[in-house]
Structure 1
Amino acid sequence: MSWETTLSWEDAKMKASILNQIRQFFFNRNVVEVETPLLGSSTVTDVHLEAFETLFNYFPSSSVDFSDSLYLQTSPEFCMKRLLASGYESIYQICKAFRHEGKGRIHNPEFTILEWYRVGFDQRDLIEEVSCLLKDVLNCSEPKIISYQDLFTKHLNIDPLETSIEELKNIIDINGISDDWIIEEKNIDILLQFVLSELIEPNIGHDEPVFIYNFPISQASLAKQNVDDSRVADRFECYFKGIELVNGFCELTDHIEQQDRFNKDNLERKQIGRKEKQIDTRFIDALKSGIPSCSGVALGIDRLLMLALNKEQIDEVITFTIDRA
């Protein structure tokens, strides 16, 4: 019956216990819990993300003939960085996030996210801390760590930082995958992401989590460029048992570079026929005022719970998914 929850009472108690464990983890490390708005006047420019939009009529400047747009956050990132610019130190948040996209086995358009920022941490420091959290919650083995470049070399014998569209399409074809969009695709990053998800991800992270670091700079619009290799950014992801759990990076703090990357996002959106997004000027102003050197990471709580409770569907760790809300 559609009125019933898909999260059992026993699992609800386990979920509450795990959330308490996560909060204790950060309390022990002197990372302070914060909260930020779910609704904001701006949203992300990311070409592959769409936010839920609603209308608001009650700003002092609101007109009877015009409604202002507000957006449900796709993550709390921009507001949390504004806190850092305001003088906050290491912080974390467990909250709802929203993405206007389809529901699937491991995704619900409304989901719970854990996001945290560590002042003074670099990419490696944060990978180590994420590893500690995963071992605490999942009681898993020590994670493996491999660069994006070495991962592609190991599994497909190609260099993703020097490859071509033609080589990627050939690799896809050799593996028996054929589709019209692949033949027509001209964006190398879309092909790289497809190859990673379809040809590499199924073969990693079966027995222990796997961290992949140093993604191409073109796939990391909010991350710092790597000081040793300008082709990559200090960004990492973590995969475990077929699930992408974590996305983190050493934060870009240069407001001019960030504005330029947002503009490039909007140019790409325009080129593929998507609506351009208004850039979050409050976030840019916060960067301009200065934020401390830090690294931040987002972790999907619902996906973590699926692994912790040994569930196959995200429905089993959420009280009411989008189709029952």
Structure 2
Amino acid sequence: MNWRPSCQLSALRLRAEILASTRRFFSDRSVLEVDTPILSHSTATDLHLASISASVDLPHQPKPIQMYLQTSPEFAMKRLLAAGAGPIYQTTKSFRDGEFGKRHNPEFTMLEWYRPGFGLRELMSEVADFITAVAGLETPAVITYQQAFQQYLDIDPHKIDDQSLYQITQDRTGISADDLSRDDCLDLLLTHCFESQLGCDRPVFMTEYPASQASLANVKEVDGVLLAQRFELYAGGLELANGYDELIDGEEQLKRFQIDNEERRANGLPEIPIDHHLVDALKSGLSKCSGVALGLDRLQMVMQGASSIHEVIAFPVDRA
């Protein structure tokens, strides 16, 4: 058993600099640092996220209750927004099961912030300012989801018919598409065919995802196509950040949670208790805002030129 950290001590010093620079960046912009629970009674319902559960003994409870280590601090932060906290950020540990490798560790460091009154373009501008100021990266270019698929695969992801999409997925990835959804196919093509090329010359924002990939973002019709109002930031072939024009409709949020659980049942996945605290917070009134989650471990990988997340964290799960 190797007791030593997997990263060099210089990486620990760089992490300290990143954290200090992050605090200065948001302090200078009067964004409040907050702290929310890692343990919660609910968690993300997204089919593609696997949460880590914990059995918790509480006084006067007849048996242990099931809780979850949070995949991100989003739900609790939105409750603070609904309570009138104003612009907020936090740097926290987040957890996702089944993710381990050169780019993943089940426990990782997330920077998340929310900007009431900001549209998506304003938030993208602030994200660009952040990675320039804290990481010394270039200002990102912008490419739409459609443009990326046309550039790298010569297909229109919004208009290609299902059968053609399934066929090109099998041809390009070698993975059978028989039991895959349309979004599964698009995601496979992205990750297997060109994600590693995104942001290699300079960072890039990818925007205008299909509405079916909206997650917790608003949806807008553009030229007859429904598009999710969200972006992802890539640098060096790594996805660094995921930003949204946030959904603030409580009823719509509840509907999306329910649909996620229906799809979970259909796919043999465990249902997730709906976070009614969040739903009620949205129903109480949340002003228009945009928010973004950025992986600090991956940002440091880009800064160091690291090929593995193990080079930027002290003790990955196999050494913890």
| Matched residue type, 2:78 | K
Q: Which residue of 2 aligns with 1:238?
A: 233
| Matched residue type, 2:240 | L
Q: Deviations over 1:188-208 (max 9, x none)?
A: 000011111111213321110
Q: In structure 2, the residue corresponding to 1:128 is in which secondary structure? A: helix
Whole-angstrom distance in 2 between the partners of 1:145 and 1:231: 19
Q: In structure 2, the residue corresponding to 1:199 is in which secondary structure? A: helix
Whole-angstrom distance in 2 between the partners of 1:252 and 1:227: 15
2:41/2:273 contact within 8 Å kept: no
Q: What are the residue-to-residue correspondences of 1:1-325 with 2, within 5 Å?
A: 2-58=2-58, 60=60, 62-63=61-62, 66-175=63-172, 177-179=173-175, 182-226=176-220, 228=222, 231-325=226-320
Q: In structure 1, the residue corresponding to 2:42 is in which secondary structure? A: coil
Whole-angstrom distance in 2 between the partners of 1:231 and 1:305: 35
The percentage of aligned residue pairs carrying the same residue is 43
1:165/1:186 contact within 8 Å kept: no
Q: 5+ residue gaps in structure 2?
A: none
Structure 1 moving runs of 4+ over 6 Å: none
Shift of 1:18: 1.4
Whole-angstrom distance in 1 between the partners of 2:27 and 2:59: 37
| Matched residue type, 2:103 | I
Q: Deviations over 1:50-85 (max 9, x none)?
A: 11111122154x11xx32111100000000000001
Q: In structure 2, the residue corresponding to 1:215 is in which secondary structure? A: strand
More strand by share: 2
- TM-score (norm: length of structure 1): 0.94
Whole-angstrom distance in 2 between the partners of 1:123 and 1:269: 30
Shift of 1:144: 0.8
Q: 5+ residue gaps in structure 1?
A: none
RMSD (Å), alpha carbons: 1.4
- TM-score (norm: length of structure 2): 0.96
1:141/1:207 contact within 8 Å kept: no
Whole-angstrom distance in 2 between the partners of 1:236 and 1:103: 24
Aligned residues: 319
Shift of 1:254: 0.5
